[in-house]
Amino acid sequence: MESNTYTLLIWFVGFTGLAVFLQACVLFAIFISLRKTASSVERVTEDLKATVVPMVHSSRELLERITPQVITVTEGLAELTAIVKKETSGVSLSASEIMARLNHQTERLDALLTQGLNSVERAGAALESTVAMPVRQVNGIMAGIRAMVDTYRSIPSRRSRQSSEDDPDFS
């Protein structure tokens, strides 16, 4: 049984050695792959650095150059905003005052027109009662005279009766 164990031990050591050798080969392949990847990443980083660094420098220069102008513009806008706010409140007060005055004048004009129209209405009523009553009376008198004239006309006169009795062709 010893020789059998010895053989098994040799086979086990051989397989272990083979497994270690295969593992070393896989690790060596991973090392080579990582080295290629690292060099590729390094090239991409260098390209990116060559592109980005000048852009960052130019952006910084631009920012340094326009910063005073931006500050001036923002201060001007702040002043303008304060002035507009102040003027808006002034305009609002003026508009309120104008509307109040306009409302007052409208009420005054309404009162004046109402009084004027009421006066015209009263004068019209007085004029109607003053003029219409005598006109009615005159119309009544004229109607009476007309009725009387019509009545006298409808009565045949004596001459026409006598001439109709004398002259048979007259009727």
Q: List, for residues 29-62, the tens digit of each pLDDT value.
A: 999 999 999 999 999 999 888 888 888 888 888 8
> Quick one: pLDDT at residue 40?
93
Q: Are 155 and 162 in contact (CB under 8 A)?
A: no
Q: CA–CA separation, 67 vs 18, rounded Å?
A: 69
Quote the mean pLDDT of the chain. 85
DSSP 107: H
Q: Are 170 and 163 in contact (CB under 8 A)?
A: yes
Tell which wins on pLDDT, 26 or 134.
26
Q: List, for residues 12-27, the tens digit of each pLDDT value.
A: 999 999 999 999 999 9
Q: Give me the percent of the chain exceeding a pLDDT of 90.
A: 23
Residue the block writes with tokens 């009476």: 144
Q: Are 67 and 73 in contact (CB under 8 A)?
A: no
Q: List, for residues 54-95, the tens digit of each pLDDT value.
A: 888 888 888 888 888 888 989 888 898 888 888 888 888 888
24-59 burial code (b ≥16 CB/10 A, e <16): eeeeeeeeeeeeeeeeeeeeeeeeeeeeeeeeeeee
> Quick one: pLDDT at residue 152?
86
> Quick one: pLDDT at residue 170?
52
Residue 113 has pLDDT above 70, yes or no: yes
Average pLDDT over residues 92-112: 88
Tell which wins on pLDDT, 144 or 1.
144
3-state secondary structure of 127: helix
Please report which confidence band the pLDDT of residue 168 belongs to, taking 50, 70 and 90 as the band edges. Answer: low
Average pLDDT over residues 138-156: 87
Average pLDDT over residues 166-171: 54
Q: CA–CA separation, 127 vs 5, rounded Å?
A: 153
